[in-house]
Structure 1
Amino acid sequence: MKNFKSIALALFVAASTIVTAQNKKIDVAKSKIEWVGKKVTGQHNGTVNFKGGTLVFKGKKLTGGSFVVDMTSLTATDLQGEYQGKLNGHLKADDFFGTDKFPTSKLVFKKIVDKGNGVFGVSADLTIKDVTAPVQFEITVKDNTATTSFKIDRTKYGIKYGSGSFFDNLGDKTINDEFDVTVSLQF
């Protein structure tokens, strides 16, 4: 009986010190991605929706994450009517994101560094148009929310349309290689 109590106590202590991973699915209806693309003569902004995603925690520490983005939901929000339709069509065409062939993009966390106060440095693999390239950003986690902003170099994913890095004499038709994304997650 004494051995049984000792074994039971040892198992209880071991079990209470093990922190298991918690997968927290994002609420795709409440989470959002906003983008800004700039060119010599101005900029356009818009949104794209999540298809799904999960953050992984051990206690309060972020340890992983992966997300799928519905590229077919890509839309400009700074225009309306015919002009919005034209820009949306061009962004979804093969010149840009080719959403008929590549309806989703994905982001997978590879390495996470705890920087304190709910801030984590993330190295991740971003896949757009079946091309994967690394991205790095900081994400802030508070309660059941997480936020981040970072730049994506579209040319790393074969999106070269209007890029001054690949084409000469574009003048005021030049489009910046990088676009900005701001992400707000709720889980």
Structure 2
Amino acid sequence: MARTIAKDHDHKRTRILKSAAHVFAREGFDRASMTQLAAECGISKANIYHYYESKDAILFDMLDTYLRQLRDGILGLDMRGLSASDTLRKAVREILLAYQGVDDEHRVQTSGMSALPPDQQKLLKSYQRELVQFLSDIIGDIAPDVFRGNPAKLRATTMSIFGMLNWFYMWNTNADAEARTEYAQLVCDLALEGVRGL
């Protein structure tokens, strides 16, 4: 007879992934152990193995869950009726707000993805590329004459905006939604108007 799934299965899985993100971010994926993870999570190693067969499986599920939810949330934004500039403002604000509370996942994404097999890395990077393309399309619509025939300039502009957002994440870890919204406004003012527009 097949084993039934516990009622709190999803809750425990989420707790394991959140704890793993914290341990992997603090210790580094290579140095982190299942014993540390179990202690952080407050459950036994055997219980963790009930959900995941290995540390690598936890890493992949954590990053897959994080990046897929980030992508789906941003690409699913309702932009109907917004001007190109207001679309950028909404997208940048929502990306920065989506980063709130996931500092560990973001750090592990940067430092731990290379530990995964190539096919899993390819899938995770596809989520990232979709986000970059989404923002790139918005930027391209704002100034089509500037970027037409110059994809390198469009990519540099897009990645510069992501760079500013990632700077905020790195140095303002505990910023609340209001501070993130204010900074998103600053990033968009810089992108749309330049320094004189501030």
TM interval, shorter chain, is under 0.3
Query: Of the two, which has the highest radius of gyration?
Result: 1
* TM-score (norm. length: structure 1): 0.25
TM, length-normalised to structure 2: 0.24
More helix by share: 2
| Structure ranking higher on relative contact order (CA contacts 8 Å, 6+ apart) | 2
Write 1 or 2 for the structure with the bigger share of strand: 1
